Copies of this chain bind each other. A is one copy, B any other.
Amino acid sequence: MSRPSAQLKTPKGTRDWVGDDLLLRESIFKTIADVFQRHGGTPLDTPVFELTEILAGKYGEDAPRLVYDLRDQGGELCSLRFDLTVPFARWLAANAHVTHVKRYQIAKVYRRDQPAIARGRLREFHQCDFDIAGAHDPMVPDAEILCVVVEVFEALGLGVTVKINHRRILDGLFAVAGVPADKIRSISSAVDKLDKMPWGDVKTEMLDKGLSDQVADRVGEYVQRSGGVLEMLDVLKASETLAANEDVRAGIADVGLLASYLEAFGIGDAVSFDCSLARGLDYYSGLIFEVVMQAPKEPESGDRNQSSQVGSIAAGGRYDDLVGMYGKRPIPCVGISFGVDRIFTILKPPADKDAKTSSPVSRNLDVYVMAIGGKEFDGLLLERMAVTRQLWRAGIRAEYSAKVKPKPLQQFKASMGVPLAVILGPDELAAGQVRLKVFQPDAEEENDPGRLVAKDDLVEEVKRLLRGTT
């Protein structure tokens, strides 16, 4: 009874969802799932925790600190899922009869990161993933994934830029620049910060990580290039040193093929090539991509980071070796993950102070059933129940006051926003009738008592009116 109220909260980096926020979130899910289904996606649902060793060594150097583990209470050691990709790979590896699949999953994932709720960065957050698994001709599934990306943001009405790069081009660039093979992943994660830090800071990090000044500058020269896909392919091909590297050549071939497929889809303009894009996760092996909000054409204010404050809102890539890491057969995969909480932050209408004070819990009702009578009136609760049950049985959304003898005003207040009211009175009921009233939001008809309907016809009448009003 005397617990401090400070405990009355959700854990750090988590939140409750209710009312308009939940409705908006669900509508984003629905929009995205529709696109996934349009592309032949089938849904998968996996447990919220996995065996700890399933997750181990899949995510990169920061992951061990960021993964939520369950307490050892005897039995298996488990951890909360960190993304939806590793559970999908585990499922593929365990189900030998699945060789080709487009699967999607919309679910919560968990990262013990520093939360920034205003920017949609939470510790419990949602991912919407679409992945294509199976051996296919090169870059055909990759192109479809990018098409899914474009269609999702078209459907959400958000202008975005899809930045792509290729792990083999990146590895080749590093090798040609003189980065030792064992430093490539770590230099790669420094380069990945170029969208948030100036070059000078990134260079310092590289020097700290043991690169010579000369090598660091050469890396800088290579990775600070970005532009249209075809244009960047020309740049890369023009350099004899780069073109001599096998990884770069293989990457160029992939991206060239991809460019022709993007052209066929008519989405080439939405995609740009960014040599600094590296992605943190260890499991990527080919094409990688990231989606950011389109920068405004003309800076509207001094804050040029405005559109990039939430960071990437979708990201993914090809991971051909992950499934094989589980010791069974390898299955090449490519996929995309949409960060719904960040998308939610962008789509959420600006806070309205008046709205804040109204209840966050709104009902969607078709009918409010009330009773009005004279002095001797007993509230007609049993009759309100019986009539409402008639409506419920017919699938109509209805409520009545839970008071035995509710006052007329209380009932009219409770019916606000509900399109129809059924009004019971002793005399009407005696004649087998009820009153049915249509609320016209903007009309002055407060004294309209509604029209009489036979009780037996009520359900049909209500259904007819609802068809008309929706």
Contact (Cβ within 8 A) B51 A7: yes
Contact of A76 among B11, B326, B396 (CB under 8 A): B11
Pick from A48, A76, A267, A362 the residue with the most CB of B within 10 Å.
Answer: A48
Query: A104 CB to closest chain B CB, in angstroms?
Result: 11
Interface residues of A in 4-28 (CB under 8 A from B): 4-5, 7-12, 14-19, 22
A414 to B91: give the CA distance in the assembly, Å: 23
Contact (Cβ within 8 A) B47 A14: yes
Say yes or no for A253: interface residue by CB 8 A criterion: no
Contact (Cβ within 8 A) B68 A382: no
A381 to B262: give the CA distance in the assembly, Å: 12
Contact (Cβ within 8 A) B108 A151: no
Interface residues of A in 338-382 (CB under 8 A from B): 357, 359-365, 381-382
Query: A341 CB to closest chain B CB, in angstroms?
Result: 12
Chain A contributes a number of interface residues (CB within 8 A of B) equal to: 107
Q: Which residues of B contact A395 (CB under 8 A)?
A: 34, 38
Contact of A49 among B11, B324, B327, B363 (CB under 8 A): B11
Interface residues of A in 39-55 (CB under 8 A from B): 39-51, 53-54
A41 to B44: give the CA distance in the assembly, Å: 28
Say yes or no for A136: interface residue by CB 8 A criterion: yes
Interface residues of A in 376-391 (CB under 8 A from B): 381-383, 385-386, 389
A-B contact pairs, 30 of them (CB 8 A): A1-B327, A5-B328, A7-B51, A8-B94, A8-B327, A9-B51, A11-B51, A11-B76, A12-B75, A15-B47, A16-B45, A17-B44, A22-B43, A34-B395, A38-B392, A39-B398, A40-B365, A41-B363, A42-B361, A48-B80, A70-B70, A95-B360, A97-B360, A132-B402, A136-B402, A141-B402, A260-B382, A265-B386, A266-B389, A267-B389
